[in-house]
Amino acid sequence: MVISTEGLSFNFGNQQVVKSLSLQVPEGSIYGFLGPNGAGKTTTIKLLLNLLKTDQGSIHIFDQDLRNNRIPILSQIGSLIEQPAIYLHLSGRENLVNRALLLQVPEKRVDEMLELVHLKEAAHKKAGKYSLGMKQRLGIALALLADPKLLILDEPTNGLDPNGIIEVRELLIRLVTQHKKTVFISSHLLAEVERMATHVGIIHKGEMLFQGSIKDLEAISQPQIQVELNDTVDAANFLKKHGLTVTDVNDECVSVPFASKTQMGEINTLLNKNDYTVYSIRKVNKDLEKLFLDITQNA
Amino acid sequence: MKGFLLSFRSEFYKTRKTMGFWSAVLLPLLICALLFIGFFNKSEHLANIPGFMAWLQFAGAILAVMGSLLLPMLIVFIAYSVNNIEHKSETWKSLFSLPIAKWSIYSAKYFYALFLVFLCLALFVLFTLGFGNFLSMLKPEVKFNEYHIEKLLVQIYFKLFLASLGILSIQFLLSLLFRDFLKPMGIGFVATIAGVIFANMNWQYAYLYPYSHPMLTIKGLLNSRTNNGPAMPQITVDIFTKDILVSLAVAVVVFVLGYFIVLKKSVK
């Protein structure tokens, strides 16, 4: 495990914002840390970076205890927390040069990073004049500058346009698949990380509600059989009479929980034999977005 | 140590294009240049008086305001500007998540502020001497060249530097804790006025109050001016007086205390 926490808790005054969190982030994963705004995501990230002092529990990163190995651990992490921390009176390039100076990274790396995040043209423009998306990309360049093994990104696609989001997503996938990095990325939108995450943790009101691989998450969403036919309401009643559970009926189709492919064929035959015209029949997974809402709202 | 040096270099890199840095250079240049212009136009005041007396008038014009307002306000501003650069850009969190000891980052920032105060005072010495000698080149009747005030001036400004350290530590901590300019500025301003009053009314405990130290330093110069003859005053600078010792003690205590406050404080 690259990140592993046990019983991690944190209070702001009387309010407990992180409750006994046990994060397990495997090496080489893109871990999507999901939760609505105010769920405790940023606080957790600040704890992981030792910006906040851990009240209870332990944090191990690269199998080392964070409290006693702060500097060796931080030297392998690149991070971006909330709005990117950028000196607005310096140019984009100067921001990177300053960081390179602190981290003792050769200046050549600065230009590579500018190229990577497509800021070469705007390198000498003051960062204060950057658009939100450019600032975000500069923030990502700063996080990547020292070629860290672990990237911790807090809402990195905030303020990016759809193209920017796709670019960041592709960049992160490339980093993990080609450069063997591990990415820990927080977001309040499942759709945003769904397409790249290998693992997911869902946090709500400081508590972890779900943690596992994206496949596990898909598995707990029960697949449905969706039948598109001519008279949906009648067909729904007919299916109920035959002992089937109908989960949804609308003008277009009827939904029934999926059990097996054989059963799916049987339903098709049954409907056809009783003069219903079946236009289509297919297995669908529950929308992850909907699942995410279910998980966070039922808690 | 490496972390400290890297952070110190970074502080320079970050501020080299800001008013925080340039004010330390431009302020002495501007004030000395104004003084030069003033005395150039009114050079008859300085004409044909002994070199030492002419220097006292020339350098004294700056020193008089230095103790009361200029130095404390300069410190307030410098302490504010080195911290504000992080407040304004929300960069504390990225600074403290770098693989550099928090102690190095904190102390490099403090010593950079200290360096700016030192630089500013050193330039005051340099420009006072430079413009003074330039004036006597242009106006031979002004006899600056007859007396070498260098050593005395260096001593006075060095003592002022030491006298400013207590204030610097306090203002540095205030600027670190408060984001806005008004709090450290307001506190610093009121504290400075109080300090000048305490020093001027010869309050016996004024030496314990950091904001009185620059004024006490200047007043100390006047007191040591004993009239030996009818015309020639004498100035001796006793550097390590008790007010300076208090200033140094306050500086060290507040500096260390500030570090523990920074450690405890959660980074926004």
Q: Are A181 and A151 in contact (CB under 8 A)?
A: yes
What is the domain count for chain B? Answer: 1
Q: How far is CA A97 from CA A100, B66, B117, in A?
A: 5, 38, 26
Out of 3.30.70, 3.10.590, 1.10.3470, 3.40.50, select the CATH number for domain A223-298.
3.30.70
pLDDT at residue number B268: 58
Q: Are A18 and A27 in contact (CB under 8 A)?
A: no
> pLDDT at residue B233 above 80?
no
The chain B residue lying nearest A71, using CA atoms, is B99
pLDDT at residue number A87: 93
Residue A221 distance to chain B (closest CA, Å): 38
Residue A205 distance to chain B (closest CA, Å): 20
pLDDT at residue number B223: 66
Write out chain A residues lying below 8 Å of B13, CB-based: 94, 97-98, 101
Of B7, B92, B267, the CB nearest to A102: B7
Q: Are A52 and B267 in contact (CB under 8 A)?
A: yes
Q: What is the mean pLDDT of chain A?
A: 87
Residue A42 distance to chain B (closest CA, Å): 11
pLDDT at residue number A29: 92
- Statement: A3-219 belongs to CATH 3.40.50.300: yes
Q: Is A85 close to B98, i.e. CB distance below 8 A?
A: no
Average pLDDT, integer, range A122-131: 91
Over residues A33-66, the pLDDT tens digits come to: 988 888 889 999 999 998 888 878 999 999 999 9
Of A79, A86, A101, the CB nearest to B10: A101
Amino acid identity at A57: G
pLDDT at residue number B189: 92
Taking the mean position of all CA atoms in its chain, how far away is CA A123? 30
Find residues 92-111 of chain A whose CB sits inside 8 Å of chain B. Answer: 94, 97-98, 101-104
Q: Is B93 close to A46, i.e. CB distance below 8 A?
A: yes
> pLDDT at residue A216 above 70?
yes
3-state secondary structure of A105: coil
Q: What is the mean pLDDT of chain B?
A: 87
Average pLDDT, integer, range B262-267: 74
Residue B46 distance to chain A (closest CA, Å): 46
Domain assignments of chain A as residue spans, ordered by start: 3-219, 223-298
Over residues A255-269, the pLDDT tens digits come to: 888 888 888 898 889
> pLDDT at residue B230 above 60?
no
> pLDDT at residue B114 above 50?
yes
The DSSP output letter for A126 is: B
Q: Which residues of B182-198 are buried (b: 16+ CB within 10 A; e: fewer)?
A: eebbeebbebbeebbeb
